[in-house]
């Protein structure tokens, strides 16, 4: 799976108890916790300024099904008279549900392909093969040219090849 997540920090932040509105400076020292095993993030920004947003990718193949509460944690700074002032730790919670896909993970299932995916259970047509075959006579790719390869050839003898 690959998902794009967006962190949006509003320009104004309202204090829940006093109702006072502050100008958000940034949400920094960001880290993420609670990702399922096998899933990681790419390019989580160090900080997101108030009134802006940043994107990052959550990617990988989760190992175990279940519900995963994921927390993005960081330090919230507000702007008071032009100075950046630390207010508190702030956490944003997301949920990742890992469910078993019908037919299992898809990918390239041909062992001789360059991008063979051992975890894939059904082929999605993405296989890439090395164009230069050092042994084109080895039709079943077992490393030797034998009677099996000849039988494989005879089995399709006379068929018209697709373009
Ligand atoms: Ca062979």
Q: Tell me the average confidence (pLDDT) per consecutive run of 10 residues in the chain, 163 residues long.
A: 85 85 92 92 90 89 89 92 89 86 80 85 85 81 91 91 77
The pLDDT value given to residue 134: 77
The pLDDT value given to residue 140: 87
The pLDDT value given to residue 71: 93
Q: Which of 98, 118, 149 is the last residue of a domain?
A: 98
SS3 at position 117: coil
Q: Same domain, yes or no, for 9 and 82?
A: yes
Q: Same domain, yes or no, for 79 and 120?
A: no
> For residue 113, how far is the Cα from the chain centroid?
22
Rounded Cα distance, 22 and 68, in Å:
32
Q: Same domain, yes or no, for 83 and 10?
A: yes
Question: What is the number of domains present in the chain?
Answer: 2
The pLDDT value given to residue 146: 94
From ligand 1's centre to the CA of 81, what distance in Å?
Answer: 77
Residue 130: domain span: 101-157
From ligand 1's centre to the CA of 137, what distance in Å?
Answer: 7
From ligand 1's centre to the CA of 126, what distance in Å?
Answer: 24
The pLDDT value given to residue 111: 87
């Amino acid at each position: 799976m690959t998902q794009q997540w967006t962190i949006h920090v509003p320009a104004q932040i309202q204090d829940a108890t006093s109702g006072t509105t502050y100008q958000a400076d940034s949400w920094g020292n960001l880290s993420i916790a609670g990702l399922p095993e096998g899933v990681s993030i790419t390019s989580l920004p160090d900080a997101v300024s108030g009134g802006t947003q940043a994107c990052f990718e959550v990617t990988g193949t989760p190992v175990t099904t279940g519900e995963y509460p994921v927390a993005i944690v960081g330090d919230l700074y507000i702007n008071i008279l032009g100075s950046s002032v630390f207010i508190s730790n702030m956490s944003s919670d997301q949920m990742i549900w890992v469910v078993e896909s019908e037919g299992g993970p898809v990918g390239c299932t041909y062992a001789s392909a360059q991008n063979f995916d051992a975890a894939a259970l059904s082929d999605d047509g993405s296989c890439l093969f090395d164009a230069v075959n050092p042994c084109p006579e080895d039709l079943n790719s077992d490393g030797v040219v034998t009677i099996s390869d000849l039988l494989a050839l005879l089995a399709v003898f006379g068929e018209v090849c697709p373009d």
